[in-house]
Amino acid sequence: MSTDTILIPLSIIWLGSEIALTRMMRSAASDTKSDAGSLTLIWLVIAAAVTAGVSIGHQKIGRIETLSSVAAVAGLVLIALGIAIRWIAIGTLRRHFTVDVVIRQGHELVQSGLYRFVRHPSYTGSLLSFFGLGISSSNGLSFLVLFLPVCSVFLYRIHIEEKALLAAFGEQYRAYAQKTSRLIPGLY
């Protein structure tokens, strides 16, 4: 069985879940948004990077043949793991989760579940999935074209979100940020 037999349905589930989130988990019109257009930017960068990265991944330039079967399987595992981490993080936030950056009336700073270890586990999950997609083609150039722009736009979004959280929660968020990493426990 080819890894594409798994990659294609997994990618459809992944994309479908993200489209559903974007449609269903938006803030209310009455909410004050601090998004700064980052949601639109994320979608544009992801569309361009995935299109370019997947296209390059099927070319010979940048291809690393010796690792192709291992990279393909590892990529699938990382995509699935990333999706799971993202959904667990979203489930932990429950009503506080929106796809745009918003602090609602009565908003609480969640510090349980995966949020005990990292401040942005939902983004960790997404980035892990994109990392997996990037390595699944066994093409170094494809990986760079796909992962670096996506990672950059998520780091921009994290910057925006952390400013909003600091403004809303002040010292409580500052103390939380001091004891947790942004994306990778103990590293960053």
User: Residue 35 has what pLDDT?
Assistant: 82
pTM of the model: 0.88
Q: Taking the domains of the chain in order of start, what are their residue ranges?
A: 4-23+36-179
Residue from 84, 83, 85, 74 nearest 137 by CA: 74
Please state, for a pLDDT cut of 90, what percent of the chain lies above it: 54
Q: What is the DSSP string of 18-48?
A: HHHHHHHSPPPTTS-B--TTHHHHHHHHHHH
Overall average pLDDT of the 135-139 stretch: 88
Residue 102 to residue 27: CA distance in whole angstroms: 7
CATH 1.20.20.10 fits 4-23+36-179, yes or no: no
Q: What is the pLDDT of residue 156?
A: 97
Predicted confidence (pLDDT) per residue in 48-90, tens digit: 999 999 888 877 887 777 767 888 899 999 999 999 999 999 9
